[in-house]
């Protein structure tokens, strides 16, 4: 096998309709282990809906999701997350009244077995787990330059900082694979560069990513391969140079898909 060509996450023939509207019409595509795989396509193409299916937020009417060689189609989102498959959302889901640090602490799962321990040990175990979680959160926030804002209400962050907080929240679970839905949307260009650098660093540490993005600079800088979705179908897949040279792709963005 060619190094880096192994599949980590796969959508197999995903079908999903909202009433009569077919949002995903037999979508099959894969995401590389150790890679950053891109998903692009016009508004309404089905990109976020596909991420909802992959993450376990929405159950499709047909098809399967394979993660790390196992069919996870039947698993709810939190159980996929426990296996290492996490995601961020297009609209940041920060809890505005809570602080930056509290938002990260919420992502930390309670320890299994906590409830059955005797009360004295339970308190010790909970405190220890909490201390570990705070340490982990601090390390993450330092990496993205948000530690100085740890006690600020999340609603006071800029759009880009909220995106970073959302990414850190996904990273609290120490995932193997992260789906990012528009990590650059509404973010100033300097911070877009920082987010891209952070993703590349995490990739270097062995993490794999799937990214939906309209920002083509970010897609070009990070992603290979790139899958193009249009009207609920995979139009084509390839490198950035390949999809850019594809007339069908240009047509799809201009609304000209037949
Ligand atoms: N819960 C829902 N009920 C009905 N229709 C929906 C629902 N969610 C999504 N859709 C429709 O499905 C289609 C695909 O939506 P989706 O959000 O996946 O698009 P997208 O490719 O992420 O677009 P964008 O680039 O604008 O984020 C759209 O036409 C949308 O209106
Ligand atoms: Mg979307």
User: What's the pTM?
Assistant: 0.91
Give me the DSSP letters along 83-129.
TTEEE--SS----TTSBHHHHHHHHSPPPTTGGGS-HHHHHHHHHHH
13: left (phi over 0), alpha (psi -120 to 50) or beta: left
Burial (Cβ within 10 Å: 0-12, 13-18, ≥19) of residue 69: exposed
Average pLDDT over residues 58-63: 98
pLDDT tens for each residue of 85-130? 999 998 877 788 899 999 999 877 655 555 666 666 667 777 888 8
Domain segments of the chain: what residues? 7-93+175-253, 95-156
Closest residue CA from atom 31 of ligand 1: 44
Q: What is the distance between the alpha carbons of residues 138 and 221, in angstroms, rounded to a whole number?
A: 28
Question: 202 CA to middle of ligand 2, Å?
Answer: 23
Q: What is the distance between the alpha carbons of residues 109 and 172, in angstroms, rounded to a whole number?
A: 9
CATH numeric code, 7-93+175-253: 3.40.50.300
Closest by Cα among 56, 96, 89 to 163: 89
**Ligand 1 binding residues, C-beta < 6 A:** 18, 21, 23, 41, 43-49, 90
**Model confidence at 5: pLDDT above 80:** no
Ligand 1 atom nearest 46 alpha carbon:
18
């Amino acid at each position: 096998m060619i190094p880096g060509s192994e599949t980590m996450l796969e959508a197999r023939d995903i079908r999903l309709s909202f009433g009569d509207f077919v949002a995903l019409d037999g979508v099959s595509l894969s995401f590389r282990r150790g890679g950053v795989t891109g998903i692009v396509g016009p508004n309404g193409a089905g990109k976020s809906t596909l991420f909802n299916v992959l993450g376990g937020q929405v159950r499709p009417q047909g098809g399967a999701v394979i993660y790390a060689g196992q069919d996870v189609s039947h698993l709810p989102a939190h159980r996929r997350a426990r296996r290492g498959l996490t995601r961020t959302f297009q609209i940041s889901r920060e809890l505005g009244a809570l602080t930056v640090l509290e938002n990260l602490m919420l992502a930390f799962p309670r320890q299994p077995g906590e409830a059955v321990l005797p009360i004295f040990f339970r308190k010790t175990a909970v405190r220890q787990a909490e201390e570990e979680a705070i340490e982990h959160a601090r390390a993450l926030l330092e990496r993205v330059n948000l530690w100085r804002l740890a006690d600020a209400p999340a609603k006071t962050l800029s759009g880009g900082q909220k995106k970073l907080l959302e990414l850190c929240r996904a990273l609290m679970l120490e995932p193997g694979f992260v789906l990012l839905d528009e990590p650059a949307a509404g973010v100033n260009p300097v911070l877009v560069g920082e987010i891209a650098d952070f993703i590349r660093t995490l990739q270097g540490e062995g993490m794999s990513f799937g990214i939906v993005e309209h920002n083509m600079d970010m897609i070009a800088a990070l992603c290979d391969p790139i899958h193009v979705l249009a009207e609920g179908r995979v139009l084509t897949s390839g490198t950035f140079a390949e999809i850019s040279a594809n007339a069908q792709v240009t047509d799809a963005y201009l609304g000209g898909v037949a």
